[in-house]
């Protein structure tokens, strides 16, 4: 049997795209309001709930970008709490290291030890965290890297470059 029927293309027809992300696959999905240039060795993963951008590095490490609620200090102290570290005092927060993110400066955060994400997963010993939290365009933008401590340590320069490459597109 041979098919001889055709129809004209419409504006709704699109070329097939291999490896499309979630934004490209689902018609009603909204594109991420954040974009950046990840290093080539990071595996790009589909965005997920609360993760605007989502990556994997090394054996089990994760990097993700979120738009969070609260304040910069609230988020820094929440991350510290995931490692059992006491919250920053006001003086420690004011003196915290800063780094470039999305055209501004954010608070650079590091921790290591036993990581308890609070998401129902068992605590992970020997983990590390590096990240940046900033207020950008009236929103709290976070870039968080977690994974085995040695892998996180090796990827910190790439994380700083990635955070600096971020931009808000809405």
> In the chain, where are the structural domains located?
66-147+154-168
Nearest Cα residue to 83 out of 117, 122, 133, 132: 117
Nearest Cα residue to 100 out of 167, 40, 33: 167
Placement of tokens 């304040």 in the chain:
71
What does the DSSP assignment read for 29-96? Answer: PPPPSEE----TTSEEE--BTTBSEEEEETTTEEEEEEEESS-HHHHHHHHHHTTTPPPPPHHHHHHS
CB 144 within 8 A of CB 61: no
pLDDT, tens only, 120-158: 889 999 999 999 999 998 999 999 999 999 999 999 999
Which of 22-36, 43-57, 113-127, 138-152 is predicted least confidently?
22-36
Q: With bands split at pLDDT 50, 70 and 90, how would you rate the model's confidence at 24? A: low
d(CA 57, CA 151) in angstroms, rounded, equals 8
Write down the pTM of the prediction.
0.81
Q: Which of 2-16, 42-56, 58-72 has the highest mean pLDDT?
A: 58-72
């Amino acid at each position: 049997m041979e098919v001889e029927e055709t129809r004209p293309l419409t504006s709704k027809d699109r070329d097939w795209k291999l490896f499309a992300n979630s934004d490209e696959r689902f018609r009603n999905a909204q594109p991420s309001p954040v974009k950046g240039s990840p290093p080539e060795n990071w595996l790009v993963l589909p965005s997920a709930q609360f993760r605007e951008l989502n990556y994997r590095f090394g054996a089990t490490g994760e990097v993700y970008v979120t738009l969070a609620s609260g304040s910069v200090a609230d988020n820094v102290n929440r991350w510290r709490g995931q490692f059992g570290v006491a919250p920053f005092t006001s003086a420690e927060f004011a003196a915290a290291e800063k780094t470039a993110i999305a055209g501004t400066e954010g608070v650079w955060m590091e921790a290591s030890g036993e990581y308890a994400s609070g998401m129902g997963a068992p605590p992970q010993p020997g983990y590390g965290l590096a990240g940046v939290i900033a207020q950008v365009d009236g929103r709290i933008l976070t870039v968080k890297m977690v994974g085995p401590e040695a892998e996180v340590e090796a990827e910190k320069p790439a994380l700083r470059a990635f955070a600096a490459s971020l931009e808000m597109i809405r």
